[in-house]
Amino acid sequence: MTTDALVQVDALGPAGAYRARYREPVTDVTGRTVAEVGLVPDPYVARAMAALRKGTTAPLEQRRAMLRTAAGLFGSATLLGLGPDDYQHLVSRVAGLGITAVRASTEKIVARCASAWEDAQAARPAGAVTGWRDPEARDGAALWSRRGDVFGVHAAGNHPSVHAAWIQALALGYRVAVRPSRKEPFTPARLVAALREAGFGADAVVLLPTDHAVSATMLRLADLSMVYGGDAVIQRYGADPTVLPQGPGRTKILLAADADWRDHADLVDLVADSAARSGGAGCTNVTGVLVEGGADEARAFATALADRLATLPVTHPEDDDAVLPVHPVAAARALETQLRSVAADAEPVGATADSIVAELGDGSAALRPAVHLLASAAAPQLGAELPFPCVWVAPWSRAGDGVAPLRGTLVLTALTNDDALIDALAEERTIRNVYVGARPTWWADPRVPHDDYLAGFLMESRGIVSTA
């Protein structure tokens, strides 16, 4: 940033930008205020949602063209006064996320925006057509249809890439309201600005910065919503069929005996990368690692993993080689306290056993990776997800533990060639993604669902026969 003026994030509503009088400060990793976000009141949200309700959806080909334009704008234009470099620097400094991960996230959002329609087709049932004019509808087919018109997004601020997901709703013809994270509102603000500039109307996509109480109004007035949050959010919305909760991943890696990690050093790298990529704060960063072969084997692996993770540089987030998450010192200390409380009887392993907080001298601190050894795969810490590289390693036995400790997992990378074991894992519905082989847990592809396809939630099949 070349100017001392604070970046201002305003609502983008049905009548354009709206400057709420209450400006909430947005701070960087040193605690310094670098931006302000204006929080809109309940009736503003009500009117914005009413505008979406009455809005019109542009025809498909126009939407696809606008999405391609928006993708280009998001990647390279100056939007809301910020060029791409300024934007990425700001996100890095505010979220404490390494700049390289932020740049990668920009590329991901650009790619997912440009091909949002095509990506969504992966979720379309084999018997469904996308419009009644499709020749296949003559003899009867399924018509792939929206389950509603207005989609609400209660976003998270832990990683800008979360905003790559909801673009599919626009591609599928939804009008979309996005409630940004108050900690990192820049990514959705930039994305909504790009979409608006590309031609999406003020009655097609809105940005509604609000507090939590008001965001409930947005969710209530949307037909369908996705909500990011912790266990409390999942509990609150879990039973609501109109809400798709995006909660903790409790992502895991299983190292079966035949993976032979001692002879494959790259497997330690794979686990370390799965833990630390993008600062380790995502739901697809590995949390629990199960090692077959007894307590000694688990200890040996935990030590090797801790050694590998200890090589990650302690540096400012805007440095090209930064990986570790950075927070204000007080926040970093609070996370360490939380870690100690969660860890309880688990045994800390490696160089960070004493402290994970590495102060950077400017009021900020990097969180160094934590590796703990658990006595058994049944220990509750195995699924304790914390927003930095934090891995719980436990011994695992096929006969004694089986699939039980692997239940409730967003992504499981299983290193094994044992078909019977893979069969059991593939059968376990509560493991949402099973990656067999050397695939990092954070790996994603539009063809591979993330806790099911979003489009599967957004769309349904109706019957169509069109002999006209």
Partner 1 sequence: MDLDLDTALRILDVGPDARVDPDELVRAAMRWHFGPETGTPFWLRRAATLGFDPVADVRTWADLRLFPNVTDELRDVAVADLIPLGFGPHPDVVSVIESGGTTGAPKRIPLLRPFADLFSHREAGVLTAAGLGPGTHWLAMLPAGPHGAFEQVKRAASAHSRGSLVFGIDLDPRWVKKLAGAGQGVDAYVDHLLDQAAFVLLQQPVSAMRITPPVLARLTERDDLLEAVQQKIRYLVWGGASMDPEARHYYRTELLPDAVLSCRYGTTMALGAGGAERPGLDDDAPCALDPSVSPYVTLSVVDAQTGEPVPYGERGRLVVHHVSKSFLLPNNAERDTATRLEPLPGHVGDAIADVAPLAEFGGVAVVEGVY
By CB under 8 A, name the binding residues for partner 1: 20-22, 39-44, 46-47, 49-50, 54, 217, 220-221
Cβ proximity to partner 1: between 13 and 293 the closer is: 13
50/351 with CB nearer partner 1: 50
Nearer CB in complex with partner 1: 39/332: 39
Shortest CA distance to 410 belongs to which of 245, 256, 265, 263?
A: 245
Nearest approach, Cβ of 39 to partner 1 (angstroms)?
7
Smallest gap from residue 259 Cβ to partner 1 (A): 47
Q: How far is the CB of 309 from partner 1 (least distance, A)?
A: 43
Instruction: Please identify, using beta-carbon distances, which residue of 47 and 333 lies nearer to partner 1.
Output: 47
Q: Could you tell me the strand order of the sheet in which 23-27 lies?
A: 7-9, 33-38, 23-27
Cβ atoms of 254 and 412 within 8 Å: the answer is yes
DSSP-H helix ranges across 294-328: 295-309
Contact 55, 175 (CB under 8 A): yes
Distance of CA 151 to the CA centre of its chain: 18
Q: Which is nearer to partner 1, 11 or 255 (CB)?
A: 11
CB of 193 to partner 1, least distance (A): 21
Alpha-carbon gap, residue 178 to 197, rounded angstroms: 16
Least separation in angstroms between CB 44 and partner 1 = 5
User: CB 22 → partner 1: shortest distance, Å?
Assistant: 5
Q: 39 vs 394, which CB is nearer to partner 1? A: 39
- Find the shortest distance in angstroms from Cβ 185 to partner 1: 16
Look at residues 271, 310, 308 and name the one whose alpha carbon lies nearest to residue 291: 271
- For 163, phi then psi, to 5°, come to -80, -5
Backbone φ and ψ for 62, nearest 5 degrees, come out as -65, -40
DSSP character string of 34-90:
EEEEEPPPHHHHHHHHHHHHH--PPPHHHHHHHHHHHHHHHHHS-BTTB-HHHHHHH
Instruction: Select 146 or 236, whichever has its Cβ closest to partner 1.
Output: 236
Q: What is the DSSP letter of 126?
A: T
